[in-house]
Amino acid sequence: MSIANAERGVTIWLTGLSGAGKTTVADRLAPALRELGRKVEVLDGDVVRTNLSKGLGFSKEDRDTNIRRIGFVSNLLTRNGVAVIVAAISPYREIRDEVRETIGDFIEVHVHASLDELVRRDVKGLYEKAIRGEIANFTGVSDPYEAPHEPDVLLDTEQEAVEESVAKVLAKLDELGYVRVPAAA
């Protein structure tokens, strides 16, 4: 007997360039899902790299290892009914697809803004350095980013307010039956 999606765990995988809005969306989405009765865990790339993936660098091999580790933990949590939000650049399509395949209950969210906008925001001051050639392997400047061909949700954070972006993810989860978002009064 299959379990209704409302009882199932799900991984919400936010992929996109540094500063695109992954952490911001994750931080807003998590309490919204808790309000809807979901158990939630957030795996943020920056945090993961200080513990689970401590010591890994930014070569393709290390990036793939990092994403596989995040995928492994996400899978365990998802199997146990948790809504897992992953916020990680995850630049390589093949590894994202591999993780999706393993987890099954998985929605891919492309968090997008143009490079011009990201340089304007320069949230962490990294783009300026990367453009000056001071950071090797900086995704989007000196390292590749393979955008999803068919993301389940595309967030254009250059045009949308954070609330709109979060609402789009919730609408997709609702459409797939993972949550029931009450209609706005």
Please identify which residue in the block is written with the tokens 């090797």: 136
- How many amino acids of this chain bind ligand ADP (CB under 6 A)? 18
Token representation of residue 45: 């790339």
CA distance 162 to 176: 22
Q: Would you count residue 74 as binding ligand ADP (CB under 6 A)? A: no
Active-site residue set: 90
**CA distances in angstroms from 91 to 5, 103, 117, listed in the order given:** 28, 18, 19
Q: Would you count residue 121 as binding ligand ADP (CB under 6 A)? A: yes
Report in angstroms how near the CB of residue 184 gets to ligand ADP at its nearest. Answer: 19
Report in angstroms how near the CB of residue 111 gets to ligand ADP at its nearest. Answer: 6
Q: Which is nearer to ligand ADP, 18 or 90 (CB)?
A: 18
Radius of gyration for the chain, computed over Cα atoms and rounded to the nearest angstrom: 16
Residue number, nearest CB to ligand ADP: 21
170 touches 179 (CB < 8 A): yes
The strand pairing partners of 49, in sequence order, are none
40 touches 85 (CB < 8 A): yes
CA distance 112 to 132: 23
Q: Which is nearer to ligand ADP, 8 or 40 (CB)?
A: 40
Report in angstroms how near the CB of residue 162 gets to ligand ADP at its nearest. Answer: 4
Q: Which is nearer to ligand ADP, 106 or 145 (CB)?
A: 145
59 touches 137 (CB < 8 A): yes
Pick out residues in 5-34 that bind ligand ADP (CB under 6 A). 16, 18-25
Pick out residues in 140-179 that bind ligand ADP (CB under 6 A). 157, 160-162, 165
Please identify which residue in the block is written with the tokens 């010591």: 55
Residue ranges binding ligand ADP (CB under 6 A): 16, 18-25, 87, 111, 121, 123, 157, 160-162, 165
